[in-house]
Amino acid sequence: SLDRQQERRLMEAWLNLRPHEDAVEALPELARRFRLVALTNGDRGMVDELLRNTGLRKHFTELLSAEMVRVYKPSPRVYGLVDRFGVARSEVGFVSSNPWDLAGAGAAGLFTVYLNRYNLPMEELGVEARIEVRDLKELAEVLQHRP
């Protein structure tokens, strides 16, 4: 187990993670065309601080957390948080590198995008993402050709 000092250093390291370069490049473009919302199982305050520390928070209009419904993804209630936006779930793009997260989002009716940075096979979960991209720059390019 971790002592207090190790725990503190671990938390500080997490709050100061560096973003993927493609996120730094693509999020401004994506934010010009779409409303970007972060949906996390994490603590809302900590994720907000992490995004601020990376300089990426400004691209997200809202931050939703599983703590708001007191269950974790892949519970459908978490993905149901998007209902507050007043659009059909099929119009909400859900981007993740986690196949289980994508399976839950797809089952909840969201439009799923597999962010496959490391060219890994999709786990055999009986579902497939609607789109698969290697990074967020590719996602921005793909979405340029969609209405």
CATH of the domain at 76: 3.40.50.1000
Mean pLDDT over 60-88 rounds to: 98
Place of tokens 């969609």: 146
In terms of DSSP H, where are the helices of the chain?
4-15, 21-33, 44-54, 76-79, 99-107, 136-144
Query: How many angstroms separate the CA atoms of 4 and 112, rounded?
Result: 39
Phi, psi of 132 (to 5 degrees): -125, 130
Number of domains in the chain: 1
Write out pLDDT tens, residues 4-22: 999 999 989 988 899 999 9
pTM metric for this prediction: 0.92
- 112: confidence class by pLDDT, cuts 50, 70, 90: very high
What is the extent of the structural domain holding 29?
4-144
Q: What does the pLDDT read at residue 42?
A: 95
User: Taking 80 as the threshold, does the pLDDT of residue 32 lie above it?
Assistant: yes
